[in-house]
Structures are given as structure tokens and as C-alpha cells.
Structure 1
Amino acid sequence: MATDVIVRAPVVSAPTRSKRALVLKAARVVLAVAIAASIVYAVVRLWPDVRDTLLALNGWTIAGAFVTAMLAIGANVKAWQAVLRELDHDIPTVAAGQIYLVGQLGKYLPGSVWAFVLQMELSLRAGIPRARSFAASLVLVGLSTTAALLLGLFGIPTLVGVGGAAVWGAAVLAPVALICAVPPVLSRLVDLFLRILGRAGLGHRLRLLGLLRVMGWSALAWTLFGVHFYLLGVGAGGGLTPTLLDCIGSFALAMTAGLLAIASPSGLGVREAVLVASLSPFGGVGTALGVALASRLILTVADVLAAGAAAWSARGLHPARPADAPEPTL
């Protein structure tokens, strides 16, 4: 005679749940304060060096650079949404923006992991398990980096004489990134990652069309960021005459280099070094540094405003139970 075996989830007492919720709330407050302090510190630190450059720019140039930066951030939100769709979580653009934009503020803390941690926690509001959210973040970083390395080819002619490290890094990483972006390879990597975390695999192969959609949105974002940098470079004067393709390629490589500098908050210093190297052949190093720092400041303001708008739109929402979470047992 067969006997049914019922496995129940462990019962967590109300005091334990309350204590855990209090600890999580305190951790969120501490993290929010740390992010705010890091952003304020970055702005205060940059301001003396960037002030003269901003004063040399006219209002239309600054406005154009800011708008293109915001459009680039929006394209990144669409890339994040496309990644989630490939991982079986089709959510609206507004919800994707709430997760991605607020989570991205974590990059202003030393260590690249904080943005992932924030996105994992925020994903629960949309019913996305933490493991899937973490996998989505890694996939997006990989495909976005692949797109950046390909666009970075446009910046190599300028950087080859003054930015050897960035050029050789792109030459080595680009073929590896392309191989990892092939659907069968990437599908196996995601499955392996989920199983290491003790979660079920995808159960399907990632689609080429879906991955191309992610890379397309990422490429658009990098292109818009390059336009943002081009507007600042041309508008600053000082003899700077970069081409648009130079700026697109160089900015993509600079952001990739900043991403690999894990210990640096949002790649601070590393990104500017590549950008200065890309502009210095067209004019003075001082002006090039001013433009790079002005770009950093404008992008920081854009990140904060975009995240603020996303957080405001999410007010009153409560976390949802992930689709694969066990039913609570009383």
C-alpha cells in the first residue's frame, strides 16, 4: 500500500520573522545612506576640476548631453527587460525600470556586487526569484560588454598610440565575449550558474533573436553615451575636434574598463583615464580631463534623477512572492 509523504516547509515563528524583517530594513537604510554619501562625495570631489569646463559649455550643449544620457539609460532599461524575458520573466517596462534604475545606484559603492544585490532584492517586488535576477544581471553585463567591445573597434585608431592597455584588453576580450554570447554556450553557462545556486535550470535554450534584441538595446545605449561625450568634447572648445565614431568607440571601451575595475566606485578614475587618452590627441590634456569629469558629473545626475523617478513610481507597491517560492505552511 502506497503511503503519501508530505514534506512541509519549516515553520518560522512570528518573532523570528519580525526580527529578520527588522534586520533587512536596517540593512536597506544603511545601504541607502552609504550610496547617498558616495554620490555626494563624488560630486564634491569632481566639482573643482569640472567647474571651468561646465562654464565653458553653453546651455544647449549641456542639455543635449544630459538628454542623450537619459535616453541611453532608457535603452539600458529595455535591455534589462529583454534579458528578463529570455529568462521567462516578462514584466512591463515600468517595472523593469524600477528594478534596474534603483539597483544601478549600487555601482557608486566600491565593488560591483552592490548593484546586483539591490536588483535581486527589488526583483522580488515583481515576483522574480533572487537567483534568476542575479543570472539576468550577469547575462546583461556579458552581452552589454560584448556590444561595447564591438563598438570599441571604432575607438582603436585613436587609442592605439596612447591607450595600449584598453586596445589590447579589447582585442583579447572581444573574441571570448562573442563565443560566450552564442545561444548554446550562454544557455549552458546560465544553467550551470543556476544549478550551482541550487536552483532549477532554464529548461530551454536562449533564443538568438532574444539575445540579439538585448545586444541591440545595449549597442543603442553605448551609441547614445558616445553622442553625449561627443557633444561635450566639441562644445568645450580648447582645440578638441574628436569625431563622433571616435567618441562612441572610446566611451564604450572606457565604460568597459571601468566595469572591470571592481574596487573603484562606478569605475572612477579608470574610465576617465581612457577618455582622456581618447581626447588628448585632439587637444590639451587639461581640457580633455575637464570633459571626462563633466561627463561623469552629468551621468551621475542622470542616474540619480532616473532612479528617483523609478522609486517614486514604485511607491505603495509591496513585494510579491516569487513564482517558484514554496507555499507558506501554517
Structure 2
Amino acid sequence: MTRVSADVPAGPAPEEPAAGGAGAPRSSPLRKLVRVAFLVVALGFGTWAVASQWDEVRAGFALLSWPALLLSLVAVVAALGGGMMTWRALLADLGSPLPLRPAAKVFFVGQLGKYIPGSVWPVLAQMEMGRALGVPRTRSAAAFFLTMPVQLGSGLLVSAVTLLAALPGSAAPYAWVFLLVPVLAVAFEPRVVNAVIGFGLRRLGRLPLERPLTRRGMLTALGWAVLGWSAYGLHLAAVLYELGPSGPSVAVFSIGAFALSWCLGIMTFVVPAGAGVREVAMVAVLAPVLDRGSAITAALCSRIVIVLGDLVCAGAAGLAARRRAVPGRGGSGPGEAAGEAAGEGGAAPGDGGAGPERGRPGGEAV
């Protein structure tokens, strides 16, 4: 009979294995098959989003120059990077700092799930891929669901400020939406967020998060989100300059117009990636500076450039992570990637992710 020492305290086991090479779960053939199927389905819906409106898209692109489209795509890639850093900062603040390349792969590949009808696919994909890096599922889910209100609140605030600065009358029809700003500001208080997360985990019968969200982590995430909205505005401005409006105020207006239309679109969770809703909202928001035909062209071009940006980011992140994992190049496999957080600077600047608490159970990156 094995004797159990009385000095070992009894308690619940960690929800997931700790991050690192030995503890991280290995991919089974079934898991790989599921990931491939997920990518095929997501890419199929993304292709359908382009093909279903191809005639309109081709007509719209014919009005734009290739330099403008390239600039718009570069700005979209930068904006998507801001979204990834927002999520990464929250994940690090919750206790799982990830190095840049593995974090980019988890985020960008997972985000392809937004093109599949239903709102659960991105979070399920991120939970599964994060688990291979030793990130507990509950922590992945918490970071995902926190990213949405952070982007929504920052987007509404940015749109209110920029629309009022560029064209005051353009914000008046949407004053009711901006009433959510003070509500979300209260919700951003870490004590409120931690209480809500704790309540939800208790209701689900799960262990509480080992590390609560901090004000520093929330402010870091908000900073990245604001940078992301600025890049999205430049993406739309590159299109608008080709369709007629000019002047520095167009760039400021574009930031608010895109942020507001995105916020309206994200409120419709059952529509893949806000498809259709964001375009209708963008046409309405652009009405003060463009005629209806040009506004439709701008909205469709914006949609297609963003789809291309999603594909570019997912492909680049996947290749970068795979190159890192190739033996003989000084890289590591998926299970070891989380162990390099300190070497690549952890998460976003100022998130305080990699610190003396690395050794705590529950999936900390070490």
C-alpha cells in the first residue's frame, strides 16, 4: 500500500497542464483532422463572401488604383495586428503570456472561424490551439470574450470623438449608440470584470482564474485597440480618397466611420463576421461625404480587403510558427513555444505577463 504523506495539501488539480514542452498535450491525428476541417470550412465561407458579390466587387475595384488598394491592405494588416495585441495583452494579464509568433497563429487562424455561421467557432478554435501551448481553456475563453467589449467600447469612444471632430453633424443620428460608452466604461473596471468572470465560472462549475485582470492590463489592451481603430481608419481613407473626398479631415472621419459601422455590425452575433450589417451601416455613415453608389463601393471594397487581410495574417502567422518549429532552426514545437515568452518579451508592452509568478499552476507560460 502506498503511503500518502500528511504534508501534501489536498486540493483540486489544475484544469490544464502547465505550459511547457513536457506538460503540453500532443496533437492526435483526430485533432489534426478537426483543425484541417475547420480551416477548409472557414476558407470556404470566406471565399463565398467574395464570390457572392463578385460583380459588385469587380466594378468597385475598377474605380480604385492598385497603390490605393495595396495601402488599404497594409493598413488592414496593421489593424488586425492591433486586434491580436489587444487579445494577447488580456491573455498575458490573466496569466498566460505567449511569444509573438505562437500568439499570432492562435489568434489569426482562430479568427477565420468568424466566417462560419454562428459565433462560437473563433473561441473554440483559440481554446483548442491555446491548449496546445499550455493555456487553460477557461483563460482562453476569458481573453476572447474580454476582447469583444474592449474593442466595442474603444470603438464607440473613438467613433464619437473622431466623427465630432471631423464632421459634427454626422454623429447625431447615432447618439443612442454612444449611450453605451459610460456603461462599458464601468464594465472595464477590473473589479467588475473579475467579479463577472468569477460568477460565470462558478455557475459552470469551473475553477476560478488563478490571476485576476489588472487595471494595467486593461489599459494596455485598450491602447492596442485604439491603435487598431486608427489603422482601420487609414484603410478606409485610402478607399475614400479614390472616390472623391479629400483633405486631412477625411482620414479622421474614416476612423470614426469604420469604428461605428464595425460596432453596429458586431452587435449581430448570428451573422458571420457581421456580414451585410456592417456594410449597410457603413453606407449610412458615409452618406455625408459620398453618394449612395460610391458609399456602396467603399463598403464592398472594405469588406473584401479585410477578408484578404484575414487570409494574409493567418497564412503568414501559420508559416512563421511552422518555421519556428522546424528542427535544426533553433525553434521549438508547439508545446515548447510557450516556454519562450521571456525570450521574446512576453506579451504586449506593459502587460506584466512574464514575471515571478510563472511557476504557478494552471497553464502559466514558463
Q: 1:275 aligns with which of 282, 285, 290?
A: 282
What whole-Å deviation, never above 9, does each CA across 1:81-130 have from its counterpart, x for those lacking one? 11111101111111211111111001111122111111111101221011
Alignment of structure 1 residues 212-291 onto 2, 5 Å: 212-237=219-244, 243-291=250-298
Equivalent in the alignment of 2:303: 296
- What amino acid is the match of 2:300? L
Structure 1 residue 319: Cα displacement: 4.9
- What amino acid is the match of 2:176? W
Equivalent in the alignment of 1:88: 95
Question: Residues of 1 paired with 2:133 and 2:99: CA distance?
Answer: 10
Structure 1 residue 21: Cα displacement: 4.8
Structure 1 residue 25: Cα displacement: 4.2
- TM-score w.r.t. the length of structure 1 is 0.85
Give the gaps of 5 or more residues in structure 2: 14-26, 326-332, 339-360
* Aligned residues between the structures: 308
Structure 1 residue 38: Cα displacement: 0.3
Matched, 1:147 2:154: yes
Give the gaps of 5 or more residues in structure 1: 10-19, 326-330
Structure with the higher fraction of residues in helix conformation: 1
Question: Residues of 2 paired with 1:8 and 1:147: CA distance?
Answer: 38
Q: 2:51 aligns to what SS in structure 1?
A: helix
Q: 1:225 aligns to what SS in structure 2?
A: helix
Are residues 196 and 71 of structure 1, via their aligned partners in 2, closer, same or farther at CA, if it must alter by over 3 Å?
same
Q: 1:262 aligns to what SS in structure 2?
A: coil
Equivalent in the alignment of 1:14: none
Question: Residues of 2 paired with 1:132 and 1:91: CA distance?
Answer: 13
Q: 2:177 aligns with which of 169, 181, 187?
A: 169
Structure 1 residue 320: Cα displacement: 7.0
What whole-Å deviation, never above 9, does each CA across 1:166-194 have from its counterpart, x for those lacking one? 542332x2222111101211121222233
Question: Residues of 2 paired with 1:27 and 1:98: CA distance?
Answer: 16
Question: Residues of 2 paired with 1:84 and 1:63: CA distance?
Answer: 32
User: RCO (CA 8 Å, sep 6+): is it higher in 1 or 2?
Assistant: 2
Are residues 219 and 235 of structure 1, via their aligned partners in 2, closer, same or farther at CA, if it must alter by over 3 Å?
same
- What amino acid is the match of 2:98? I
Are residues 214 and 83 of structure 1, via their aligned partners in 2, closer, same or farther at CA, if it must alter by over 3 Å?
same
- What amino acid is the match of 1:168? W
Question: Residues of 1 paired with 2:296 and 2:246: CA distance?
Answer: 12
Are residues 150 and 135 of structure 1, via their aligned partners in 2, closer, same or farther at CA, if it must alter by over 3 Å?
same
Between 29-38 and 191-200, the greater mean CA deviation after superposition: 191-200
Q: 1:308 aligns with which of 315, 318, 323?
A: 315
Matched, 1:34 2:34: no
Equivalent in the alignment of 1:17: none
Are residues 116 and 158 of structure 1, via their aligned partners in 2, closer, same or farther at CA, if it must alter by over 3 Å?
farther
Are residues 160 and 8 of structure 1, via their aligned partners in 2, closer, same or farther at CA, if it must alter by over 3 Å?
closer
* Percent of aligned positions that are identical: 31
Equivalent in the alignment of 2:205: 198
Question: Residues of 2 paired with 1:160 and 1:222: CA distance?
Answer: 17
Contact 1:125 1:320 in 2 (8 A): no
